[in-house]
Structure 1
């Protein structure tokens, strides 16, 4: 293979871990018994690793005592809480497959998810803010109201038997979390240890539904080996130790929270610090200051909200040093402010996708600042990446191509969906991400867009990310998203949706003139719209397809 080809391999002297999730927490609890493991401010929870391990074992044993069998699926439909973290480790310890259900899901999506993977049990809170989870479930399964705990027989949810409620008030047909824990007696613990001896690290352990823009959600199925090792190498890139305290305001149901957050901490004996059930900029700033956190995670919109908060200057963030900014493209100007004003001198950028557990590329503290703001770093240890053209040929360095990943991190597949699995994982086990990237001579990777997001205007390839990065430098622009809209003459035209800084005013012509002086004519946005917010997923991923649909409607295309 020529050195000029876009192929990189994370050769490393660091071996892969042979742990299951259960053996990992056993080992870490012995190594760091008295170090803090979990702090959840909203619930007043503070657990050392010894205490955390004890609680995980009680819940794991309790799950088996309910009659759940290894390999069966248990859903968690909840915002960030202490119980979520405990279940993240307890379910795989018992050989169960944890199914992460988006807290934003409603009746149709919940029904689809539970039935797609035949969930035997579901854990949920009664409500959170305006989401009345128990009411939604009862709408799907009215039999719950008249049922006996453990014996649910719902016509629309035929596999579901157990409902565990994260609430002090009992509800018909459900068990309380405390009742589940109480089942973890000596006999149940003995059964747990028998089950654990039969588990292997290649067993499925986690199903995460990918929020595709078209079609029904797909259940990416991950193993112990996938997520334990990815968490380990993520923590290594952050230089985590048992003395770190990581503030995790990103959702657990997504890989960002449970792998880049929780597993990165646990693999290194660091402390998971949870500021609240959902993201709140003020609560996050308060938590970092009060808990003296050394790390902070977030998507760019979270960091923007923290930096722009009117009370930002009141908080001492000087203990911060590391963290991860990921989930969507990271604006250069925001990154510079995070380093300068939030003391995150060693913050890292990570890139990945759910189907690869998720991280494939990450910067490290030793990388020069310019590489930590203009790339997603270099290949993770023990992984391979190649960039290919539309015919599957590896492209030269410096040339955009589709990013494909191979190695320990690639999922088993989409749950009971062989055809869609084959669409993305080829015969040689390369995961085709659908992301367009460029790898330079030094191995640094830049994500330049999605295959489907690339704009082809009059035969010219236009990469929205390039225009977005340019517009972030405009003094009036707070945030921007660029996408293509249909055009009869050119095929597509460039459109920019712009969020202005508070108190700023600008016109379409002003933005276009700014671009015209610095960018090729075909990259200048033909349409500019000023908006207060972008349509987003719960994880902070911008939904460009919804913007495109809105413009098509507006322009009557």
Structure 2
């Protein structure tokens, strides 16, 4: 499934699960290179997308990877680069080589019902049902593979913690290709019988506020950036948010001031912070609606039932006592089956005892509340999107004028972090910021294109010659007056 938040996304999510088909969630901003990688990685047999969204022309991007599409009759695609792909479904119009969504809806008859019932008898809750791609530190995304058991139980426990019921009307501006949307939104709706409201195809602060007002929403799920943008609307005071009670804020760390503003100005006294990773289906820690302001602003909440957490010294592997920082590890029903077709990378993050290493530095207290204090690696979280510097560095290294490049996250009031690329150009070359941005456009997803490009002569190094990213980050923030 490749595209923005549409009704058909949800239909596909449940239809595939019913039929035992694995749904692969593809980021709607992916360009042809990224698309080809993920489709090949999992051997995708079918691809569903709208013709276009904003500047993304999905059919055109796919044609770059498989030019055979235009000449093939629907359902019989034979592509050199994507040998497994045979079915292409367009959501909104009939294009050469594709089925339309209408074709698909009308193709079912009573014989298929029986076939479906027979298939359902063979399904097992521990089987894979969803592959969620997360950016990879080695430059290629990893497909976190989740089972029915992972997703349904996580959704059930999220709903219980949020005290959701059939009277709940939840607004969902977060993307469905992320776990927060598909599990915390759609699956919670299915398990607890609440209503879901989609304000727009992709996040739009004004549309979200309008939906909260017109649809009398009681809850909303979003990232800190989304809430900051809603609060920052010039006509914010004109919306009636009196029905709002609570919801979830997740995806990156929440500045305490933002949390206080949300509670006061958006009437969300029961808002909770949620923490997790795609690999954990996703939620492992979550606040209670009645938590006090310190718990809401200084922690990521309390551990979810049926989940174990421990803090380990990343150097020695010893389990640390309460209130001592170390690497957070998780074990339980929520841990993914593994990265699809990647046993080596799965083993890097999973121990023999089935503990999942989050890569986050955290502190646990004796009540089960958790505080995230940093990250083992230098992942950038920009507006809730996880971005790995190595991926961007490897791409920028393909520019003919670049000698060396280092990418770091620098602080940003709205997005939490922004991407900054420090570049050393080759001797005798001249290069501009515009040139680098133009080089990125259309080749990597828009959210991975660096906001800041700084040309440097050298990088801060350790004695052994390794780049000190934390020093580089400080240097860049000073240089950019952040």
**What is the TM-score of this pair, normalised by structure 2?**
0.80
2:21 counterpart of 1:83 = no
> How many angstroms apart in 2 are the aligned matches of 1:425 and 1:235?
27
Tell me by how many angstroms 1:550 deviates.
4.7
Partner residue of 2:236 out of 303, 309, 312: 312
> How many angstroms apart in 2 are the aligned matches of 1:542 and 1:123?
22
Q: Which residue of 2 aligns with 1:98?
A: 23
Q: Which residue of 1 aligns with 2:394?
A: none
Distance change in 2, residues 1:121/1:495 (3 Å): closer
Partner residue of 2:132 out of 198, 208, 214: 208
Tell me by how many angstroms 1:185 deviates.
1.2
CA contact (8 A) 1:356 1:411 kept: yes
Tell me by how many angstroms 1:275 deviates.
0.6
Partner residue of 1:433 out of 355, 358, 367: 358
Partner residue of 1:238 out of 135, 158, 162: 162
Alpha-carbon deviations, 1:73-116, whole Å to 9, x = none?
Answer: xxx00100000001011101101000000001001010011110
Superposed structure 1 runs of 4+ greater than 6 Å apart: 540-543
> How many angstroms apart in 1 are the aligned matches of 2:348 and 2:446?
23
2:115 counterpart of 1:191 = yes
Q: Which residue of 1 aligns with 2:323?
A: 398
Q: Which residue of 2 aligns with 1:283?
A: 207
Tell me by how many angstroms 1:453 deviates.
3.9
Match of 2:220, SS? strand
> How many angstroms apart in 1 are the aligned matches of 2:343 and 2:215?
46
Alpha-carbon deviations, 1:276-318, whole Å to 9, x = none?
Answer: 1100000000001000001001100100000000111110011
Alpha-carbon deviations, 1:438-470, whole Å to 9, x = none?
Answer: 01233210001101249xxxxxxxxx99xxxxx
2:45 counterpart of 1:120 = yes
Distance change in 2, residues 1:235/1:108 (3 Å): same
> How many angstroms apart in 2 are the aligned matches of 1:305 and 1:108?
31
Q: Which residue of 2 aligns with 1:33?
A: none
CA contact (8 A) 1:328 1:541 kept: no
Q: Which residue of 2 aligns with 1:258?
A: 182
> How many angstroms apart in 1 are the aligned matches of 2:457 and 2:292?
45
Match of 1:343, SS? coil
Tell me by how many angstroms 1:240 deviates.
0.2
> How many angstroms apart in 2 are the aligned matches of 1:165 and 1:250?
23
CA contact (8 A) 1:234 1:264 kept: yes
Equivalent pairs, count: 405
Match of 2:192, SS? coil
> How many angstroms apart in 2 are the aligned matches of 1:333 and 1:171?
49
Q: Which residue of 1 aligns with 2:458?
A: 556
RMSD across aligned C-alpha pairs, in angstroms?
A: 2.4
CA contact (8 A) 2:66 2:81 kept: yes
Tell me by how many angstroms 1:392 deviates.
1.3
Q: Which residue of 1 aligns with 2:433?
A: none
Tell me by how many angstroms 1:542 deviates.
9.1
2:277 counterpart of 1:353 = yes
Tell me by how many angstroms 1:366 deviates.
2.2
Distance change in 2, residues 1:323/1:155 (3 Å): same
**What is the TM-score of this pair, normalised by structure 1?**
0.70
Tell me by how many angstroms 1:367 deviates.
1.5
Tell me by how many angstroms 1:263 deviates.
1.1
Alpha-carbon deviations, 1:149-175, whole Å to 9, x = none?
Answer: 1100011111000000001x3111100
Tell me by how many angstroms 1:141 deviates.
1.1
Alpha-carbon deviations, 1:224-272, whole Å to 9, x = none?
Answer: 0001111111111111001101000000001011011111222100011
Tell me by how many angstroms 1:495 deviates.
9.2
Residues 360-439 of structure 1: pairs in structure 2 closer than 5 A: 360-389=284-313, 390-439=315-364
Q: Which residue of 2 aligns with 1:150?
A: 75
Tell me by how many angstroms 1:546 deviates.
5.9
Residues 511-522 of structure 1: pairs in structure 2 closer than 5 A: none
> How many angstroms apart in 2 are the aligned matches of 1:541 and 1:209?
17
Gaps of 5+ in 1: 1-75, 455-463, 466-482, 484-493, 502-534
> How many angstroms apart in 2 are the aligned matches of 1:424 and 1:214?
14
Distance change in 2, residues 1:300/1:205 (3 Å): same
> How many angstroms apart in 1 are the aligned matches of 2:206 and 2:322?
43
Distance change in 2, residues 1:95/1:250 (3 Å): same
> How many angstroms apart in 1 are the aligned matches of 2:101 and 2:94?
10
> How many angstroms apart in 2 are the aligned matches of 1:269 and 1:284?
22
Tell me by how many angstroms 1:398 deviates.
1.0
CA contact (8 A) 1:437 1:449 kept: yes
Distance change in 2, residues 1:101/1:500 (3 Å): closer
Match of 1:397, SS? coil
Distance change in 2, residues 1:107/1:189 (3 Å): same
Tell me by how many angstroms 1:363 deviates.
0.2
Tell me by how many angstroms 1:499 deviates.
4.3
Tell me by how many angstroms 1:498 deviates.
4.7
Distance change in 2, residues 1:236/1:418 (3 Å): same
